[in-house]
Structure 1
Amino acid sequence: MTEVDVRVLDNSERRAAHDVARGAQHLAAVSDGEWAYVRDLHEHGPVLGAFLGESLAGTVRLIPSGLALPGGVTVPMAATTGSGVRADRTGRGVFTGLRRESLRLAAEQGFPVMGNLVTGAMLYGRFGHGVGTRSRAVRLNPREARLRPEVPTDGDVRLVDPEASIGLLPRLYEGLGPYRPGVMDRSAHWWRAKWERLVRAGKSPSVAVHRGPDGDDGFAVYEAKRSGPGPRVTLMVTDFHAARPEAVAGLWRFLLGIDLVEEVCARRRPTDELVEGMLVNWRACRTHALDDDLWLRLVDLPKALDARAYGDGDPLVVGVVDDVLPGNSANYLISPAGAAPTEERPQLTLSVQALAMAYLGTMSFAALASVGSVRVLDDKALPGADRLFGARPAAFCGTLF
C-alpha cells in the first residue's frame, strides 16, 4: 500500500484542496466568484493535504479562533474544517494521517484546544474528540406562542438593511463577548466568507437587531421558507445570539409576531434557554431535536485544564488517558484555584475524549460514570467533580465553520 504523505499546502494548492473537501460532501467544485470570498477564510490558517503518490487524496484546514470557557475567559482554539477524503481514496489511512498531523500541528502552534463540527462521530471519537457543547432545535406555532406579560423587556427590535449588516453584525457579535462557555470567536475572515458573500450575491437572510438601554445587544438571522400554496411561510432562524435575558425575550417576541407565518423553527439554541417558560401556553414550543454542537479535542491538557475557572469543590485528582497524544496521559490535581499535573493517586480516571465532554460542563461526571466512561476509584470524588466542573449558563456554540 502506498504510504500517505501529509504536509502543509502552499497557497497555489489550496483551491484544489477546497474542491476535494467539497467533492467529499457531494458538492460541485467552487466557482471563481465563490472562491473570491472563500479564499479569504481558506488562507486564514494552515491547510493540510494528504497525498498518495502525486495525488491529493484528502485535506483539512485549521482556522485560528478562540473558545469561551467557564469563568468568562477565552482560550486559543484551532477550529478544523474543510475536511474530506476523495471517494476513490478512502480506506487507505488518509483520514488517520490527516487527524494525527492536525493534532500535532495544533500543538506545535500553541492551541490548547481543537474544535470541530463533526459528521462522522465514530471516526472523530477514535482520535479523542468528544461532544463539547449541545444545542436543541425548537418549533413554535406563532398563533399559540404568545409571550407572558411578566417576561422581561427593555428595548425594541429593528430590521437591518443587508448592506449595513456587513459592518454591524461583526461589531455586535464581538461586543457580546464570551457570554456563554462554548461561544467561539468569529474573525473578519469568517464574516467575509460566511456573511458578506451572501449579501453581495443578494442571498442574505433577514436580520433583526435588538437594541437595549446601552445599545445593540443581540441579533437573529432568519429566512422565510414557503411551506405550501398561499402566502404563509415557515420562518427558519439560522443565527441567534444575545447575552441578556431581555434581549433574548425581545427577539423571540419579534420573531413570533411576524405576520403570515405558520411556524417558527430555530435549529440551534442553548439547551437551558427556557423558551417554553416565556409563553402563556407552554406546549406552543416543542423540542424538535437535541443535537451535539461543537466537538472538542483537548490538545495541551495542562494548559486547557488550567485555563478555565472551577466551582466550589474539594480538590480532586483525575487520571487521564490519551492514546493519541500520550504526553497528556497523567494525573491532574484540580481545585477552585486551578489545575496542574501531580504524582498523587487518582480518584477518578477517564479518557481524554470523556474529559472533553465534561470540560465545559456539558456532561456531568456522574452521567459519564453511569455509562462507563469514568472509572470511580473514590466514591466521594464524583459529587465533588461535578461541583468543580459544573457551569452555568449551559455551554453553547452556535457558529458554523
Structure 2
Amino acid sequence: MPGLNSIPSPLRSERIHTDLVRLLYTALPQVASVTIGVVVGAWLMAWRTGSGWDWLLAWLSIVMAVIRLGLLAAFYQSGADKDLSPAAARRWECAYGAGSLLMAAVIAGMSLRALSGADAGVQLLCLGLTMASCAGQSSTRVACRAWIPISTGSVVLVAFAAGCLLHPDTSYQIVGGLLLLYGYSHIEACRHGAQTIVALHRAQRSLARRAAHDDLTGLPNRAAFRECLSKASEHLTRHRQKYAVLALDLDGFKHVNDAYGHAMGDELLRQIAHRMRHALREGDVVARLGGDEFAVLQMPATEREAAVRLAERLIAEVSVPYCIEGRSIGINVSVGIALAPECGDGEALLRAADEASYEAKRAGKGLYRLASPSRQWPLTA
C-alpha cells in the first residue's frame, strides 16, 4: 500500500499540497455567500444606475457565479475529494484561483464605476463587497493557498483605494489610504495563516507516521501492517487477484546482541531493514512486527513461484555479511510463505506465514517453507 514504507520528503510535500487543495474546496460557505452577494450587488447597481457598463458587469457576475459554484460541484462529482493526484491538485488549485480572480475583477469594476458617480448607496454597497471578499478569502480554508486570497484581496482593495484616492473629496482620499494600509494587514494575515495551516498539516502527518512506523528501522509497525493487510485483502479479493504474506524471523540475532551489545544489534536491524526494502517491488510492503520479526506483503502474486523467488531473494540479501564498526557480522533469516486465498486472508494469512517460518527455522538456517494450503495453488506457465 502506498505511503507505508519510507516516503521521500518531496512526496510528503506533495501529499500535504493535495490535502490543502481538498481543504480549499471545502470553502462552500465562503464561496457561496460572497458570490451571491456580488451577484445581488451587481444587479442592484445596474438597476439603480441603468448604465450599459453596469449591466455588463451584472451579466458577468452571473458567469462568475456559475464558474465558481460549478467548480465546487465538479470537484466533488469527479471524486477528487477522495483521490487527488499532485498534478490534478495543481490544476484544481489554478481553477479555483482563476474563479476567485474573476470575482475580484467584477468587484473591482463595480467599485470603479460606483466611485465615478455620486450614488453614495452604491458606493457603500461596493465597499461592503470589497471587505466581504477580503474576509471570506482570508478564511482558514482559502488562506491555505495564500496566493489566492492575497491576489484577490489586492485586486479589490487597490481598485477601491484607487477610486477613493482619485476622488476630489478629502474624506474619500483618507479612506483610500486606510484601505491600502488594510491591504498590507490582509496580506500578512493570509501569509501567516497559510504558514500555520501548513505547519499543522506537517505535524499531523508526522504524528500519524510515527504512530504507524517503527522508530528504529522506519518500517511500518505491526498495527500498520495489519491495517494494510486488511485493506489489501479486501481490494485484491474484490478484483480476484492473488497475494502472499512472508513472515521473516532472523536466525541468531540474540547471539549478536549478547556478543556485541544492543547498539550493534540495533544498527544491524537498520541495515537489514534497508536491504529488505530495496529487495521489494514497488507496491510491496515490508514491516517490522517486533524484535527480530519482519513481514512482507507481496501484491499481487500471480503465481506461487513469484512468492518463492521473493523469499529466496530476501534470504540472499539478508545473508550477505554486514560491516558494522569495523566488524563483519553474518546472519540468516527463516522465511514462511502463506498464499491467498489458499491459506486464508488477512490476519489468518499472517498466522499461517508465521507458523511456516517456525518450520523453516526448525529445519535449519536461511530456509523458507510454504504454509499448507487448503487447496492446490494453480500454477501458470
Q: Which has the higher contact order (CA 8 A, sep 6+)?
A: 1
Give TM-score scaled by structure 1 length. Answer: 0.21
Answer 1 or 2: which has greater strand percent.
Answer: 1
Answer 1 or 2: which has greater helix percent.
Answer: 2
Give TM-score scaled by structure 2 length. Answer: 0.21
